[in-house]
Amino acid sequence: MNSRICVLGSINMDMIIRVDKFPQTGETITGLSCELMPGGKGANQAIAVANMGVPVDLIGLLGNDEFGRILRDHLIAANVNINDVAQSKSSSGMAVVTVDGEGSNQIVVIPGSNALLRREIVDGYLTRQGSTVRYIISQFEVSPDLINYAFNKAKSLGAITVLNPSPLQPIPRELIEQTDMFIFNKSELAQVVALTNSIPSPNDALHMALRWRQEIGKKTVVVTLGENGLLAIHKDRIIKQPAQNIAHVIDTTGAGDCFCGSLVAFLHRGYPFDESLAFAQKAAAYSIQRRGASPSFPKFRTLVTNKMKGEMK
């Protein structure tokens, strides 16, 4: 069997509301539009992997409702293997995403069936796939206890574990020990390391990442810095990469998921770590110049062709 990537995570229907500006507390404003789009961090990351031409399996739980049927069809069309996406009697997960005129977003997630995902599904999958799972990725739209269980079992089979701790909550010590690579944005890093909601400067972010890595051991730590690019600590190296040139930000929804899935996909393809980071940046930059989450994610050929041309529009 070919080696593959597993994504353990959420599947949501996103309700995307577009506004000129976000309302203040107690303020009522008139929106520009409202539409439904498939989402969920797990589904988004799995689609990002599939778009890079890498075999990917999604472990998740959908509700027995119309949203669940739409989401299932969307994943199949995106070439994500959903043999281990089960169905519950609960409603499917949802997210209400408000996007302003500058492409920034505010998100409220209603877990629904995602909160009911259980170990039995993970056990069945890993028992069948065994050592063919090369990477397993997860996020915090499913239970940290379940992630820890899955990572522990996957590592025993030789898999590399990747955690995107978003939406942020405390990371259990045992999960830190089971994780090989962490992918943060700058605000998540600041909350984990410095217990502050302040957005760190690139230099502060580097010091935070170095300090945290001293505490947790030689894990790979990747931090996306928005307009300041990214930094990573990998093995004994510090890597800094500038941001991509972007003509106009339309919608940042799902950009982090696009980055995570693309990074792991390029690593799986055998690209060097630095080059994989650069391709993941290009993928995320491409996505934020288009509307929606996974519908905005680029394909492998697009990234490689644009790299050769030196453009990402």
Q: What is the reported pLDDT for 308?
A: 44
Residue 113 forms part of a structural domain: yes
Q: How far is CA 104 from CA 42, 253, 292, in A?
A: 21, 8, 12
pLDDT tens digits, one per residue of 115-131: 999 999 999 999 999 99
Residue 251 forms part of a structural domain: yes
Q: What is the CATH number of the domain that holds 243?
A: 3.40.1190.20
The count of domains in the chain is: 1
Look at the block and give the residue holding tokens 């890597």: 239
Residue 217 forms part of a structural domain: yes
**Banded model confidence at residue 307, pLDDT cuts 50, 70, 90:** low
pLDDT tens digits, one per residue of 224-248: 998 899 999 999 899 999 988 887 8
Residue 311 forms part of a structural domain: no
For residues 302 and 169, give the distance between their C-alpha atoms in angstroms, rounded to a whole number.
35
Structure-block tokens of residue 267:
């690593």
CB atoms within 10 A of CB 102: 12
**Banded model confidence at residue 270, pLDDT cuts 50, 70, 90:** very high
Residue 313 forms part of a structural domain: no
Phi, psi of 86 (to 5 degrees): -90, 175
Write down the mean pLDDT value for the chain: 92
Give Cα 122 to chain centroid, integer Å: 19
pLDDT tens digits, one per residue of 186-229: 999 999 987 877 888 999 999 999 999 999 998 999 999 988 99
For residue 121, the enclosing domain spans 4-23+33-306
For residues 290 and 251, give the distance between their C-alpha atoms in angstroms, rounded to a whole number.
6
> What is the pTM assigned to this prediction?
0.91
Q: Which of 95-99, 175-179, 180-184 is least confident? A: 95-99
- Helix, strand, coil percentages for the chain (3-state, nearest 5): 40, 25, 35
Q: Is the pLDDT of residue 310 over 50?
A: no
Q: What is the reported pLDDT for 244?
A: 85
**Banded model confidence at residue 289, pLDDT cuts 50, 70, 90:** confident
Residue 287 forms part of a structural domain: yes
Helix H or strand E encompassing 187 = helix 186-193
Residue 148 forms part of a structural domain: yes
For residues 287 and 284, give the distance between their C-alpha atoms in angstroms, rounded to a whole number.
5
Q: What is the reported pLDDT for 195?
A: 80
Mean pLDDT of 273-277: 97
Residue 28 forms part of a structural domain: no
